[in-house]
Amino acid sequence: MSSSKSWLPWAALAIAGVFAGAWIARATLAPVPAPAPQLLSGTWLPEPRAIAAPALIDSRGQPYTQGAFTGHASLVFFGFTHCPDVCPTTLALLSQVRRVTKARDLTFYLVSVDPERDTPEVLHSYLAGFDPEFIGLTGAPLDIKSYTRQLGAAVARVNLPGGDYSMDHSATLFLLDDAGRLRAVFTPPYETARLAADLGAAVAAARG
């Protein structure tokens, strides 16, 4: 006569099979991360870096905080309206890039490193000469400095004779994903078609 407990091993195996099947199903259905894009103009970050945007003001005079950087990818460029060369050259190129890139949900920003002179009205007028879709951002000097440090943008004030001043800064571009996290960094020299292709691939990878 067989023991009344002889069914226990079979029951244990059946339960283990159920859990194993559930684990396999979850693993099968889990989204596969998109492969890192091969960028020609920049560097893709293996892990996204959280960025805490300070309280800024956009070129329409509206508050712009961290939440405004979510729901779409963002390309951030630091510059200023009195810039004699780097900014006009970069913004003109970015205007061309915006028109040809396949990253349709990408928003382009100029964050002023000269908030003492770059009011929302000044930024609005300045950017209109390059692309009406560009958004300018300004704010308190300490908030701007905090933002440049978080993203790793090189900025320095240069005092000029007569009491005037200028701002030294790089032409680095910073790509944020739709959660406002830093995903890629682009450095010059830039070429329109190559940068546009890189941005399309990077935004798709960040979304995936």
Task: Output the tens digit of pLDDT for each of the chain's 208 residues.
Answer: 444 445 444 444 344 444 444 444 454 444 455 678 999 999 999 999 999 989 999 999 999 998 999 999 999 999 999 999 999 999 999 999 999 998 888 999 999 999 999 999 999 999 999 999 999 999 999 999 999 999 999 999 999 999 999 999 999 999 999 999 999 999 999 999 999 999 999 999 998 6
Query: Both 142 and 175 in a single domain?
Result: yes
* Position 51 in a domain: yes
Query: Both 22 and 96 in a single domain?
Result: no
Q: Which domain holds residue 16?
A: 1-30
pLDDT value, residue 207: 85
* Position 175 in a domain: yes
Kindly state the tokens that stand for 156. 């320095």
Burial of 69 (0-12, 13-18, 19+ CB in 10 A): buried
* Position 128 in a domain: yes
Query: Both 10 and 70 in a single domain?
Result: no
* Relative orientation angle of helices 192-207 and 86-100, to the nearest 10 degrees: 60
* Position 202 in a domain: yes
Compute and round to an integer the Cα radius of gyration of the chain.
Answer: 25
* Position 35 in a domain: no
Query: Both 87 and 2 in a single domain?
Result: no
* Position 105 in a domain: yes
Q: Are 151 and 182 in contact (CB under 8 A)?
A: yes
- pTM for the model stands at 0.83
pLDDT value, residue 12: 42
Query: Both 20 and 62 in a single domain?
Result: no
**What phi-psi label fits residue 53: left (phi over 0), alpha (psi between -120 and 50 degrees) or beta?**
beta
Query: Both 12 and 72 in a single domain?
Result: no
Q: Tabulate helix, strand, coil % of the chain (nearest 5).
A: 40, 25, 40
| DSSP conformation letters of 118-155 | --HHHHHHHHHTT-TT-EEEE--HHHHHHHHHHHT--E
Number of domains in the chain: 2
Query: Both 117 and 203 in a single domain?
Result: yes
pLDDT value, residue 44: 97
Q: From CA 192, how far away is CA 95, in angstroms rounded?
A: 9
* Position 37 in a domain: no
Query: Both 74 and 136 in a single domain?
Result: yes
Query: Both 19 and 72 in a single domain?
Result: no
pLDDT value, residue 33: 58
Domain harbouring 200, CATH code: 3.40.30.10
Which amino acid appears at position 14 of this protein? A
pLDDT value, residue 28: 47
